[in-house]
Amino acid sequence: MEHILIYGAYGYTGQLITELVSEQSLAIILGGRNQEKLKKMAGEFDLEFRVFNLDIHDEVVDQLKDIQIVVNCAGPFSWTAEKMVEACLESGTDYLDITGEVDVFESLQSYDQQAKAKGIMIMPGTGFDVVPTDCVANYLAEKLPDADRLELAFHGMGKTSRGTTKSQVERLKVGGAIREKGILKVVPILSKSKEMIFTTPDGKEITKKTYLIPWGDVSTAYFSTGIPNIEVYQPFPKSMARMAKFTHYIRWLLKLRFYEKFMTWMQLKMYPPLKTGEIYGEGMMVRGTVSNDRGETVSVRLNTEDGYLFTARSTVTILKKMLSGEKKPGYQTPSSCFGYNLILEIANTSEFIEFSE
């Protein structure tokens, strides 16, 4: 029987994925660094568990030898993804994770040829980062094949998990990100804003001030579509936007480990993270627009459930498709492997709805 290892299973999203995947009669093994948390969780789900960290390469390879697919839920992924992927290349294990970190997507692309040679698939971003937006990007690229500009946005994100908060603070050290003329470009965090209209599942329109963010699609959407200019936007509370902009002037401080820890602590104090079993938000509203140099545009929107619930469902959907033989060796994005209709296979997600403004 094919074994699936969920690494970082005791984190907020790891637990959601475990709950869903354990209902599918699959051979699940829990993994992570904390023996106490793993033992407790394994007892609750009646599952095997393995305790190991990612710092000793040979040990990680040994733990993955009988694993067909690993799902890495241990963020920040800038600390864990490459270590796990390098072990997967030796053990012949397919790799998935739930990252939204731009630099992680970029770094994992460099393993494409090695993964193809080994016949394994590397697919980061199997959750809300970046499945809905990646599918929207692919859909729009098909509708306007000569598009040279892509703008994506989403609204509905409320409280975040502890892991997401850590990843956000990690990104503050680098800054924002856009794709410009095919090149990934670092820009000041939240350096651009615009008013956007989002639509709820019942058709109600909501206007929000959105800010430019370093979302994973500035990497993945370029890989999926080849569109050379990409920006992603999200609304933020004014207090959070002010604080994020301020960090542009103290990025050098954030590179000091003690100050990064302080900023993470402060962020968690100001915006308490989601607790296990807590669900925040009624759903996510996603929209995208492409345009070409002739001034033609196409816009589309869709709705999903809460981003963390969506992440669990989309990851399990991808796992099941892979176990049925649907995979492509090498580095892949969700839509490059499964097409934009992948989003329609995930429960509580709307159809693509084209619109004009």
Write the CATH number for 110: 3.40.50.720
Query: Which amino acid belongs to residue 44?
Result: E
148 and 294 share a domain?
yes
143 and 292 share a domain?
yes
92 and 42 share a domain?
yes
pLDDT bracket for residue 2 (50, 70, 90): confident
203 and 264 share a domain?
yes
pLDDT bracket for residue 24 (50, 70, 90): confident
57 and 167 share a domain?
no
Q: Which domain holds residue 143?
A: 131-307+346-355
Give the pLDDT of residue 242.
62
Burial of 211 (0-12, 13-18, 19+ CB in 10 A): buried
Is it true that the peptide bond before 130 is cis, omega within 30 degrees of 0?
Answer: yes
Mean pLDDT computed over 35-46: 96
Q: Looking up tokens 């820009």, which residue turns up?
A: 187
215 and 334 share a domain?
no
Provide the token pair at 158: 């409320």
251 and 323 share a domain?
no
Give the pLDDT of residue 173.
54
Taking the complete model, does pTM exceed 0.95, yes or no?
Answer: no
H-assigned helices in the chain: 12-21, 35-45, 57-64, 77-91, 102-109, 112-118, 131-143, 162-172, 217-225, 238-246, 251-254, 257-270, 307-323, 334-338
pLDDT bracket for residue 191 (50, 70, 90): confident
Q: What is the pLDDT of residues 48-66, one digit of tens each?
A: 999 999 999 999 999 999 9
206 and 285 share a domain?
yes
pLDDT at 326 over 50: yes
Give the pLDDT of residue 147.
98
Mean pLDDT computed over 88-110: 97
How many Cα atoms are found within 13 Å in the side-chain-facing hemisphere of 301? 20
Q: Looking up tokens 């934009």, which residue turns up?
A: 340
Give the pLDDT of residue 23.
87
239 and 153 share a domain?
yes
Give the pLDDT of residue 247.
61
pLDDT at 259 over 50: no
Q: What is the pLDDT of residues 213-255, one digit of tens each?
A: 989 999 999 999 999 999 999 997 666 556 665 565 555 455 6
258 and 351 share a domain?
yes
b/e code 82-106 from CB counts within 10 Å (16+ = b): bbbbbbbbebebbbbbbbbbbbbbb
Which 3 state secondary structure label does DSSP give 210?
strand
* CATH code: domain of residue 152: 3.30.360
Query: Which amino acid belongs to residue 145?
Result: P
Q: Looking up tokens 């892949």, which residue turns up?
A: 332
98 and 141 share a domain?
no
Spatial neighbors of 243 by CB under 8 A, at least 6 apart, are none
Q: Structurally, how many domains does the chain consist of? A: 2
| CA nearest neighbour of 22 among 275, 277, 304, 312 | 312
Q: What is the pLDDT of residues 123-161, one digit of tens each?
A: 999 999 899 999 999 999 999 999 999 999 999 865 655
pLDDT bracket for residue 188 (50, 70, 90): confident
Give the pLDDT of residue 1.
47
Give the pLDDT of residue 139.
98
How far apart are the C-alpha atoms of 5 and 84, rounded to whole Å? 12
Give the pLDDT of residue 96.
98
pLDDT at 323 over 60: yes
| CA nearest neighbour of 129 among 323, 307, 318 | 307
187 and 144 share a domain?
yes
